[in-house]
Amino acid sequence: MSTTTMSMTADKPAHLKPVALKTEIAVDMIGVHKWYGEFHVLKDINLHVKRGERIVICGPSGSGKSTMIRCINRLEEHQQGRIVVDGVELTNDLKRIDEIRRDVGMVFQHFNLFPHLTILENCTLAPIWVKKMPKKEAEEVAMHYLKRVKIPEQAHKYPGQLSGGQQQRVAIARSLCMSPKIMLFDEPTSALDPEMVKEVLDTMVSLAQEGMTMLCVTHEMGFAKQVANRVIFMDAGQIVEMNTPSEFFAHPQHERTKLFLSQILH
């Protein structure tokens, strides 16, 4: 996998300076449980993500990977245990939830771009309405990140006119426009044509190289080996195994992990 290093720190306007996390622990999940009705979907999740750490989460479908990272920005509600995001605990307090969502970017499997808005409008919407940024400044920020994901020329098109890979890069740019401290990726390449996967992964790699705190649900094991600090394997709503990528792939300990890896690494 190519590691196209993009020089991001040079000639950067003031409002594009990376925002540092307030605390050393970016995400802290302590004894988190969740149920869908009777179905126990997350069981005793304990996860401490340090600032700047890059974590890849893998596991069979239905193992609760997506549910777990969706709890971090309250797209799903946990019913037991504590989740603390950058020092702010997630409760039912809507103000806190909005505060956390402002600081946590998310990239979805199906992009979830707004089809009635242009690419540029997709990127400026949240800065203008949530951060109250002036429109002109928001457009500067948006163009900056669209250049960064290498599609500034598409700014005035609509999402439906772009390829899947381009749409996913726009989705990443849209999140970055809010200068998030933490980025969540929920299977960002699963819905893409094979030829589009690399352009999205390259963007994610460059983001990782800048020190962004990232939690990625993905089955791209090459990506995991290249950028992850830790790989987490989940099954049946539990964290089964967690290790550095080299150890995880070379010496998986748990039987279920061994089986999973033998299935996906042919």
Interface ranges with another protein (CB under 8 A): 73, 75, 94, 98, 101-102, 104-106, 108, 110-116, 125-126, 129-130, 158, 160-161, 174-175, 178
In this structure, the number of other CB atoms found within 10 A of the CB of residue 136 comes to 9
Q: Please check whether residue 56 is in contact with residue 224, taking contact to mean a CB–CB distance below 8 angstroms.
A: yes
Nearer to another protein, 187 or 235 (CB): 187
| Residue 118 beta carbon to another protein: minimum distance, rounded to whole angstroms | 9
Nearer to another protein, 68 or 113 (CB): 113
| Residue 64 beta carbon to another protein: minimum distance, rounded to whole angstroms | 17
Nearer to another protein, 22 or 116 (CB): 116
Q: Please check whether residue 248 is in contact with residue 233, taking contact to mean a CB–CB distance below 8 angstroms.
A: yes
| Residue 38 beta carbon to another protein: minimum distance, rounded to whole angstroms | 21
Q: Please check whether residue 138 is in contact with residue 179, taking contact to mean a CB–CB distance below 8 angstroms.
A: no
In the sheet that 80-85 helps form, which strands lie side by side, from edge to edge?
39-50, 25-36, 80-85, 88-89
Nearer to another protein, 98 or 193 (CB): 98
Nearer to another protein, 64 or 127 (CB): 127
| Residue 101 beta carbon to another protein: minimum distance, rounded to whole angstroms | 4
CA-to-CA distance for 241 and 257, rounded, in angstroms? 7
CA-to-CA distance for 139 and 125, rounded, in angstroms? 10
| Residue 114 beta carbon to another protein: minimum distance, rounded to whole angstroms | 6
DSSP strand pairing (182-186 vs 104-107):
parallel
Structure tokens at 88: 């702010």
